[in-house]
Amino acid sequence: MATAVQWIQLGHLHYDDALDIQLKRAQALLESEDDLQTVYTVEHPPTITIGRNGSMDNVLADESFLSEHGFTVREVDRGGDVTYHGPGQLVVYPVLHLAPWGNDVKQYVRNLEEAVIRALAEVGIQGTRDEAYPGVWVGAAKICAVGARVKKRHSGEFVTYHGIALNVDTDLSHFQTIVPCGIADRDVTSLTRELGQPADLADWETRLKRSFFDVFGFEA
C-alpha cells in the first residue's frame, strides 16, 4: 500500500535552522502527535558535521581557516563520522516513522542508498554499495553520504531523521578540510565530475524525488 508523504523544499538554509525543523517534526512523531511522513530537501552553506562515531581529529583545517572561509562546525547525533555539507550538494532529510517498512532500520538505510543508485542509473552512472561503509560510491569514490538517527516511540516503532548528502555540483576541494566519513584512503566525487559537465541541483532533486517515491512506495 502506498504511503502518503510531505516533500518539502527548504531551499538554502543554515544547518542549525534545518536541524531545528527536523527535530520538531521528529518530536511530533515520537510523541504521536501525528503520523505525517515528511522528507525535507535543503542546500547548506559550508558546514562540517561530526557524528557520534567521529571526532575533531578528522577535521584537518584549523579554526582560523574555517572561520575565514565561512565554515560552521557542529557535533550532531547521527551515526557516522565527519561529513561536509555545502553549496551544490543536495541534502535530503527524511523524518519518517518506519512501520510501513517493517520497522527495519537496516532496510531503511538500504532504501536510502537504493534511491540514490536508481537516480544515478538514469544517466548511466553505476552507483554501488560498500558493505564496510554506508553511502553510495562510484568506483572507489563516495558520491553520497548516508547518516541516519533513529529513536523509538513508546510503541517500539522507530522514527528517523538526518539522511543523505548527494554531491551534485559541489566544490570538492572543500572536502580537503576533513577526513570524509573518517576514511582516509578513499576519494570523493560529484555528479559534475562524473558527467564531465555542470550538474543542476533542481534537476537532481527531481530525479531523486522520483526514485524515492519508487523505492519507498510513496504516493505520487
**Residue 78 annotated as binding site:** yes
Q: Give the span between the Cα atoms of 180 and 85, in whole angstroms.
A: 11
Q: Give the span between the Cα atoms of 107 and 76, in whole angstroms.
A: 23
Rounded to 5 degrees, φ, ψ at 90 are -90, 115
Instruction: Give me 197's grid cell.
Output: 559537465
pLDDT score, position 173: 87
Q: Give the span between the Cα atoms of 116 and 112, in whole angstroms.
A: 7
* pTM as predicted: 0.92
Scanning the structure block, which residue is given the C-alpha cell 578540510?
177
For residue 203, count other CB atoms closer than 10 A to its CB: 12
Angle of helix 105-121 relative to helix 201-216, nearest 10 degrees? 130
What is the per-residue DSSP string for 136-183? EEETTEEEEEEEEEEEE-TTS-EEEEEEEEEESS--GGGGGGB-GGG-
pLDDT score, position 180: 57
pLDDT score, position 220: 72
pLDDT score, position 79: 66
**Residue 147 annotated as binding site:** yes
Classify domain 6-214 at the CATH superfamily level.
Bira Bifunctional Protein; Domain 2 (3.30.930.10)
Scanning the structure block, which residue is given the C-alpha cell 570524509?
180
At 89, which helix (H) or strand (E)? Answer: strand 89-95
**Residue 108 annotated as binding site:** no
At 40, which helix (H) or strand (E)? Answer: strand 38-43
Enumerate the active-site residues. Answer: 181
Please write the tens of the pLDDT for every residue from 102-133: 999 999 999 999 999 999 999 999 999 988 88
**Residue 18 annotated as binding site:** no
**Residue 82 annotated as binding site:** yes
Enumerate residue ranges in the chain where pLDDT < 70: 1, 54-55, 79-80, 179-185
pLDDT score, position 41: 98
Instruction: Give me 202's grid cell.
Output: 533542481
At 28, which helix (H) or strand (E)? Answer: helix 15-30
